[in-house]
A and B are shown apart, each in its own frame.
Chain A
Amino acid sequence: MPPMLPMTRPSPVTRILAAANAVILGKSSQTRLALCCLLAKGHLLIEDLPGVGKTTLAHTLARVLGFQFSRIQFTSDMLPADIIGVSIFDRESGNFQFLPGPVFSQVLLADEINRATPKTQSALLEAMEEGQVTTEGETRPLPEPFFVIATQNPSTQIGTFPLPESQLDRFLLRIELGYPDHDAERALLESGGRRKQLPTLASCLDPGEFAAMQQEVAAVYSSPALLDYLQALVEATRQDARLVHGLSPRAALSLLAAARAWAFSDGRQMVLPEDVQAVLPAVARHRLRLVSGSYAGSEDIAALIRSLPLP
């Protein structure tokens, strides 16, 4: 932990992270980023190879936060109705009756979202964006809070429909898990997989506590000096000749929200440039495409950060 500041106060974040890290070994910064994403009311995209623990992370977070959880395994023959739900004609009442799909839950784990067709993907993403579902002219609100944690295989794998850039923008953060380190992997091998712990995991939050935390996150102070820095970063991406596009205004808002959550998770009431730097790769990498066609790598983001001096 960083040194205690005058404004530092104890945080339930510590409890959540401790509980989650007990399940997911050796991924503390990813867990924290994932939590920050939810605190900032954003959707999370986890991208990595199969089997590195994407689903476990999503599931663990839902459990620890005590949310209602549902999971969809995306496949190429899936239809939008499989997510949103279908209307069935009820002969007795003479009406169409709506059967809600898995999207009507607080945390939706969309596993391997890039296996579904673009049509199905967009149905989910619209629900993410609007916070509501419209079918046959009727609008149905989704529960509060509503998070999508999508996992995705790297699009280089065969038989996938990579999410287009416009859709990627709807995810606040995108994180990569990577292989566990040596010790974590040994612990994993010794304990024989983590998933079996999941059903026993209990929520470590009181009802309503998460909503209060979200409110506090939104109230974390960002000074003019910080906003200057953030704007400079965003402008630098727009003017970087190696990139096809810069960050959009929506991305800038996302960056600020994520930085607020990160600062909050560090127990601070103000955003520091460090917070922005910490979340920038997760915010920006899936939004910035290099002229060469690939998405920006972490070293591109690091170079970007280094190009902006801080007084």
Chain B
Amino acid sequence: MSSQPPHALEHGAVPWLLTGALATAGPHAEHLPLWLSLLVASSLLWRAWLWQQRRPLPPRWSLALLVAVGVAGIAWQFHSLFGKDAGVAMLVLFMALKPMETRHRRDALVIVMLGYFLLLTHYFYSQSIPTGLWLLIAMTLLTGALISLHGGGAQPIMTIARQAALLLLQALPFMFILYLLFPRVTGPLWGLPEDARASLSGLSGEMSPGSISHLIQSGAIAFRSRFAGETPEKADLYWRGPVFDSYDGVTWRTATPPARLPRPAPVIEASGTAYAYTSILEAHNQRWLLALDVATSLPPEGSLAPTFEVLAREPLRVRTRMSFVSAVDYHANRIEAPAILQQALALPARINPRTRALASSWQSLPAEKIAAAALSMFRQEDFHYTLRPPLLGADAVDEFLFVTRRGFCEHYASAFVFLMRAAGVPARVVAGYQGGEVNPVDGYLTVRQSDAHAWSEIWLAGKGWVRIDPTAAVAPSRIEQGIVAALPEGEPLPSIVRLDATWLRQLRNRWEAANNSWNQWVLGYNPQRQRELLSWAGLSDPDWQSMTASLAILCSLALLIITWWTLPRRRRADPAQRAWQRYCAQLARRGVGRATWEGPLAFAQRVARERPDLAALTSEAAGCYAQLRYGRNGSENLLERLQQCVRRLPPQRP
């Protein structure tokens, strides 16, 4: 069957192939080098021109040259031919050049298969709703190309498109079934290449002046949380991220682990309301899980660090859904390890002399008074809260406290902790997010990168670690109302958080709620969710056999439905015909079968000869049927009589 000569490519199939190639390769232009995108575009255009002019394809050597140039370019650009980005670039290059040597149907098939594969690579970069929709369109185009390749080439475009869309529509049930029931394996199967993780935005492992104010200009969502009960006060919404206790004069860092040893388990005495909530954390490629300060109950993947932030075992590389319980009123580590306290007092030598002088003037005071003195300084002196602070020199804290007095939360937190340490109070910087906005559409509290914040913590004997937010002293509205209210007009905030028009805000809320559901229910469908779904469906503790079985059953069911749906509607035999056929079938079981070509009366006569006991009844049935089918006016009455004849047949003899 398959030993036929290669089929020549149908002329009408080429535009389908080219648009399919464009639709699958085109969106990659966003992350491909410009020269490659231009090469792809010109190659496709050239092929389209050749098609339109019905010109012969270029010779193979010229193509080989182009391939060589393209591969060399990719190798030079990515320093490799493998790995994610380089691989995608190679695929796009082949997709653009393959149409140039497509002469047979076989070559065209390769393009379509390559196209289907390229569709997958888009998900490395984005799995959002628009990507999904765009890829559905691209898939329709590729499927249309397949149809036009296999005999549909002469049809009008819309007919092919409709046919392709119909096929995809009918394939959707299978997709749902497979998506829900196909046994999921948690990846990765092997080590991911180095560039598998794109640079993700989020808090980083260190804090220097400008790092948070830079982050804050992104409107991207950091995480969403939904509280099981009531939502805490806005001023209590401190989402704890990394804790920085090591300062080199410019940058705050987390002290390296040996300095912290030994690590006693943190002791947290919580009082007041316990807030239970579920968070969907966007991937940020770091270990901390942003829990409300301070977490009392953790998801199984998390553990509480000695500095109270929740840490995952692995950096968070995919969007993850986790449940926490937190308390807002707490005493944490009333008794602290000496090593940690020592770290919380360490300062680089010789910098910021004016600050040190100020601090030493407070040294005799109790720790709480020292903090109060510092805060009242921020509150009473002419300090400003701004996203665009002046640059600071070597003695950054001195300059900030005594000269510029303009800064963002990181400046205040940094300066405050420096002051405390210089005055002998153990203190550290905590980074995280503060606040968030409840989306009325789905009730999720949305926390964006623009809610990033830094505050400080001091240790008081008998009270443990106490949060002090110096920003609150300067700009109380930052805490109470959020960043937009705290910053004056003209500050470079992302426009998405600064939406004034109500309808735009609503639109944004809806879009984000849709995205959230998409993320949770579509993208977040993982083995765990699959187990939940199956146990909800009654398949508790499913193994792969039962899952495969149910998968097979459902798929064949869907296949049957589609088969039935597309089955040509057969004309239903009229009732008289059906009754007669039933009667004849009954007689056949009794040993006198009607030959297919035998008319009713002829049959009745034969029955009379062969089975005199059935003669009268058969004669009546045949007469009724003949009249119904071949007579001028068959009445209901006759039909009933015929149907009665079927019932009146004597029971079969054994």
Contact = CB atoms under 8 A, between A and B. Distances in A.
Contacts of A226: 630
B599 A309 contact: no
Interface string A276-309: 0100000000000000000000000000011111
A26 B630 CA distance: 32
A306 B595 contact: yes
A255 to B, nearest CB: 15
Given A305-B597, A308-B597, A225 B630 contact: yes
Given A274-B601, A274-B602, A310 B627 contact: no
A3 B623 contact: yes
Interface stretch (A64-72, A169-177, A265-273): A265-273
A88 interface: no
B61 to A, nearest CB: 56
Given A305-B597, A310-B596, A2 B630 contact: no
B600 interface: yes
Interface residues of A, number: 24
A308 to B, nearest CB: 6
A60 B284 CA distance: 112
Interface in A151-173: none
Interface in B559-613: 573, 577, 580-581, 595-602, 604-605, 608
B628 to A, nearest CB: 10
B60 interface: no
Contacts of A270: 626-627, 630-632
A266 to B, nearest CB: 8
B605 to A, nearest CB: 6
B102 to A, nearest CB: 44
A225 B631 CA distance: 10
Interface in B490-513: none
B264 to A, nearest CB: 91
A189 interface: no
Contacts of A305: 597
Contact of A6 (B596, B597, B604, B623): B623
A309 B599 CA distance: 9
A274 B629 CA distance: 13
A193 to B, nearest CB: 35
A255 B629 CA distance: 20
B574 to A, nearest CB: 9
Could you say which of B622, B629, B630, B632 has the most chain A C-beta atoms within 10 Å of its C-beta? B630
B619 interface: yes
Contact of A225 (B597, B623, B629): B629
B581 A272 contact: no
Contacts of B629: 223, 225
A20 B493 CA distance: 116
A2 B604 contact: yes
A308 B630 CA distance: 17
Contacts of B601: 2-3, 272, 274
Nearest to A308: B597
Contacts of B608: 3
A142 to B, nearest CB: 34
A223 B604 contact: no
Nearest to B626: A272
Contacts of B630: 221-223, 225-226, 270-273
A6 B577 contact: no
Nearest to B620: A3
Interface residues of B toward A: which range?
20 to 34
A311 interface: yes
Contacts of A274: 599-602
Nearest to A1: B605
B431 to A, nearest CB: 84
A271 B626 CA distance: 9
A209 B610 CA distance: 39
Contacts of B597: 277, 305-310
Contacts of B619: 3
Contacts of B599: 272-274, 277, 310
Contacts of A2: 601, 604-605
Contacts of B573: 311
B627 A6 contact: yes
A3 B615 CA distance: 9
B632 A311 contact: no
B211 to A, nearest CB: 85
A269 to B, nearest CB: 7
Interface string A212-256: 000000000111011000000000000000000000000000000
B85 to A, nearest CB: 66
Contacts of A221: 630-632
Contacts of A277: 597, 599, 602
A4 to B, nearest CB: 8
Interface in B330-351: none
A257 B599 CA distance: 19
Contacts of B627: 5-7, 270
Could you say which of B580, B596, B604 has the most chain A C-beta atoms within 10 Å of its C-beta? B596
A269 B622 CA distance: 15
Contacts of A5: 623, 626-627
Nearest to A263: B630
A274 B608 CA distance: 16
Given A3-B623, A225-B629, A272 B600 contact: yes
Nearest to B641: A6
Nearest to B631: A270
A274 B581 CA distance: 17
Nearest to B581: A311
B631 A7 contact: yes
A7 B630 CA distance: 12
B603 to A, nearest CB: 9
A2 B630 CA distance: 17
A270 B597 CA distance: 19
B523 to A, nearest CB: 57
Nearest to A275: B599
A269 B632 contact: yes
Given A221-B631, A272-B600, A311 B623 contact: no
23 contacts: A2-B604, A2-B605, A3-B608, A221-B631, A223-B629, A226-B630, A270-B627, A270-B631, A270-B632, A271-B630, A272-B601, A273-B630, A274-B600, A274-B602, A277-B597, A277-B599, A306-B596, A307-B597, A309-B596, A310-B598, A310-B599, A311-B573, A311-B581
The 9 closest A-B CB pairs, nearest first, are A309-B596, A3-B619, A274-B599, A273-B599, A221-B632, A274-B602, A223-B630, A270-B631, A5-B623
Interface of B: 573, 577, 580-581, 595-602, 604-605, 608, 619, 622-623, 626-627, 629-632
Given A226-B630, A305-B597, 15 more contacts: A2-B601, A3-B619, A5-B623, A223-B630, A223-B631, A225-B629, A269-B631, A271-B630, A272-B626, A273-B630, A274-B601, A307-B597, A310-B597, A311-B573, A311-B580
